[in-house]
Structure 1
Amino acid sequence: MVSEQQSVAWSLSGFGDEIDHDPRVQVAVLQALGADHIEVRSAWATNVAEMSDEQVARLQGILAENSMSVSAVASPIGKVDVSEDVEHEVARLRRVVEVAKALDTTNIRVFSFFHEGREPDAVRDDVLVRMAALARVAERAGVTLLHENEKDIFGDVPSRIVDMVESVGSPALRLAWDNANFVQVGVRPMTEAYETLRPYVDYLQVKDAVMETGKVVPAGHGDGQLPETVAAFARSGYAGFASLEPHLDEAFTLGGFSGPVAFGDAARAFRSLTDAAGVVTGR
């Protein structure tokens, strides 16, 4: 356990649309759990990549009224097949950048492309071309792309993730770390991923999963080595966001849902781990 003198502070956030479609409900629940940040993936059942200027302005107003800041925009960029034309995702990213700037965040979550029917090695060059193009947009815009280790995309296992980040070689391409997603592709996060990937991680997404079934469970209740992960990131001096993405009710291609009660359960499970590691979260 980290002593009180050595404690570190993380900013607690969460995927608001896992709570409710209504951003006012999202904010209320997150604040009740001690969070003063929200990760925006959708509001009023509209994904960030599809929001109108009017919706963005309305959301911005709600967040400002409640003194709620945005930790990241959880975009769907790169969550398409690698056969999609490069410019398709570049154009979508440009729009997401506009949304992120309106919501006053520089963090944008991205993915490294599905490749149905093709082996990862066969699509490597195509993926790198696309990720480099996205990184150039991010560099020019002054934002950071946070690649999530989602299952079934090119960057799902540590070896390909580090290959991608190092090959693109852009300061605008960093990593969002997700323990449950590692478990779902047969990777034990601390044992097989931490040492390789930690230098590139700028953001924590919090969920856990059971190795045998892939079922998502509250933090510390699965095989994602969450207690060890929290302790290791604390020892390393990590002082960024921890964003709750529980997926406790359902999960689907572009997101998941938990509801207010299960989301609260997930937050309390995570708080027990951070307390044990001497990490201060929330307000």
Structure 2
Amino acid sequence: MDRRPTVRFGGIGDEAAPDLAGQLDALEQLGWSELELRTVDGIWIADLPLGRVTALARTLRRRGVRVCGLASRIGNWASDVTDGHGPEERELAALAERAALLGTDRVRVMSYPNGTGLPAAEWRRRVLERMRRVAAGAGRGGLVALHENCAGWGGASAENALDLLASVDSPGLRLLHDTGNGAAYGYDGFELLRRTVGHVDHVHLKDAVGHGADTRYVLPGAGDARLAESLRLLTARGWRGVWSLEPHLATRPHQGLAADGGTDSGFVAAGRALTDLIEREVLPHSPGWRLVPGGLVRDASVPRATDGRSTDEQVTDEWVAGGPVAGASVAGGPVAGGPVAGASAAREGAVSDAH
């Protein structure tokens, strides 16, 4: 029987420190035990020799820390949709080996920027072709590719994300939602989550103020990314999985910035601010949920409705349509819109131009 919290708190380690010891120390200060690995000592996880990965796995077991996922460079901000396939195929194979050693099957991917200025329809066609290959390769390696709403075609809008899932149509591809990326990429992150939440397997947590090139990342709860609303939406759904902290206060790989392992990384402060935000603005509107060491537990069982939906799904649909969550008021007033889009809506969704 799995006795872990319903929602487990963790973080992307190199946001706290470059070395594994510093990453684990930061998690320990917060009482968390889920680590998402991107780089160790400045080296991407796919590039670490297998011997080092084996040693990392031993250290993680000794410290009682579980790896909840691995970051890849596939389709990210440093790539282009016109690049050759070889590097991503090699990276996926390398990650499959390392994931097996580390006890995870989740790999973060993106969906290819269009730096060469291809027409929108051609960009979409190429992305879908590439992502079919990625999903198939992930499946062969025993992995699930988690597409993040970040760089690339699929991260530009909810329509594109749902189109991506429906067109690729593979169990090897799911969504990773980042709560703060909308600020930099020009969309409302909460609205994107509202439309895609049924397909989200993993969540990155950050908060931000400003837009586009003027985006500035701040402690959770201090920004305009509608973070608390997003977390309330997830609890209303009875969501299970990992909320992985990626505060971007000192580490932003796309800008060449990296934490030095000191207190200036802000990771621990961000974790504490997140916990405060959850206690203050999420739990009062989330009946049946409570804070426990390392995450959140949902105490009440969820009865099934006669139409096959869970009570959580019905509550979410009512809330998104404008009603409160289980009778509680929602800060900021009702949210306009219809039910959360499902797979059928994904197939009907129009393709929008990228931001």
Aligned to 1:269: 273
Conservation of the 8 A alpha-carbon contact between 1:180 and 1:209: yes
- Cα displacement string for residues 200-226 of structure 1 (whole angstroms, at most 9, x for unaligned residues): 101110111113421111222112100
Cα deviation for residue 139 of structure 1 reads 1.6
Q: Distance in 2 between matches of 1:255 and 1:127?
A: 26
Report matched runs for 1:60-139 at 5 Å: 60-79=57-76, 80-118=79-117, 119-139=119-139
Partner of 1:231: 232
Return structure 1 stretches of 4+ with deviation > 4 angstroms: none
Amino acid in structure 2 at the alignment position of 1:272: D
Which runs of 5 or more residues in structure 1 are unaligned? Answer: 1-7
Q: Which amino acid aligns with 1:41?
A: R
Give me the whole-angstrom Cα distance separating, in 2, the residues matched to 1:220 and 1:266: 9
Q: CA deviation at 1:252?
A: 2.7
- Letter paired with 1:194: L
> CA deviation digits over 1:172-194, x for unaligned, max 9?
1011111211121121122x312
- Answer yes or no: is the 8 Å Cα contact 1:36–1:282 preserved in 2: no
Given candidates 31, 35, 39, the residue that maps to 1:38 is 35
Query: Which segment is superposed worse, 247-256 or 106-115?
Result: 247-256
Is 1:280 matched with 2:280? no
Identity between Structure 1 and Structure 2 (%): 31
Give the Cα separation in 2 of the matches to 1:208 and 1:281: 23
SS at match of 1:149: strand
**Contact 2:132/2:168 (8 A) holds in 1:** yes
Q: Distance in 2 between matches of 1:49 and 1:254?
A: 20
* Helix, strand or coil at the partner of 2:124: helix
Question: Residue deviations 1:34-92, cap 9 Å, x none?
Answer: 11111011112210121111211121121112111101111222221111122331221
Given that 2:217 and 2:248 are in contact with CA atoms closer than 8 Å, whether structure 1 keeps it comes out as yes
Amino acid at match of 2:271: A
How far apart, in 2, do the equivalents of 1:45 and 1:87 lie? 23
Structure 1 residues 38, 281: closer, same or farther in 2, change over 3 A?
farther
Aligned pair 1:172/2:183, yes or no?
Answer: no
Question: Distance in 2 between the 1:226 and 1:233 partners?
Answer: 11
State the match for 1:161 in structure 2: 161
- Scaled by the length of structure 1, the TM-score of the pair is 0.91
Residue matched to 2:317? none
Native 8 Å contact 1:120 1:154 kept in 2:
no
Pair 1:249-2:241 in alignment: no
Question: CA shift at 1:254, angstroms?
Answer: 8.2
Partners of 2:34 and 2:137 in 1: CA distance: 25
The residue type paired with residue 147 of structure 1 is: H
Deviation, 1:281, is 5.6
Residues 142 and 209 (structure 1), Cα distance of their counterparts in 2 relative to 1, 3 Å cut: same
Does structure 1 conserve the Cα–Cα contact (< 8 Å) formed by 2:149 and 2:181? yes
Q: Which has the higher contact order (CA 8 A, sep 6+)?
A: 1
Are 2:210 and 1:214 aligned? no
Please report how far the alpha carbon of residue 251 of structure 1 lies from its aligned counterpart in structure 2 after TM superposition: 1.5
After TM superposition, the structure 1 stretch with the greater mean CA deviation from structure 2, 239-248 or 76-85, is 76-85
Alignment gaps of 5+ in structure 2:
284-289, 295-355
Aligned to 2:310: none
CA RMSD in angstroms, aligned pairs only: 1.8
Q: 1:211 to 1:36 in 2, by over 3 A?
A: same
Please give the alpha-carbon distance, in whole angstroms, between the structure 1 residues aligned to 2:243 and 2:262.
18
In structure 1, C-alpha distance between the alignment counterparts of 2:37 and 2:185, rounded to whole Å: 26
Secondary structure, aligned partner of 1:176:
strand
Q: Give the direction of change, closer, same or farther, for the CA distance of 1:179–1:281 in structure 2 (3 Å limit).
A: farther
Greater Rg over alpha carbons, structure: 2
CA offsets per residue over residues 96-134 of structure 1, 9 Å max, x none? Answer: 111111100011111111210325433111111111001
Structure 1: distance between partners of 2:292 and 2:75: 30
- Whichever residue aligns with residue 165 of structure 2, its letter is V
Q: Distance in 2 between matches of 1:123 and 1:171?
A: 23
Question: What's the secondary structure of 2:6's corresponding residue?
Answer: strand
> What TM-score, normalized by structure 2, do the two folds share?
0.73
Work out whether residues 218 and 266 of structure 1, in 8 Å CA contact, stay in contact via their aligned partners in 2.
yes
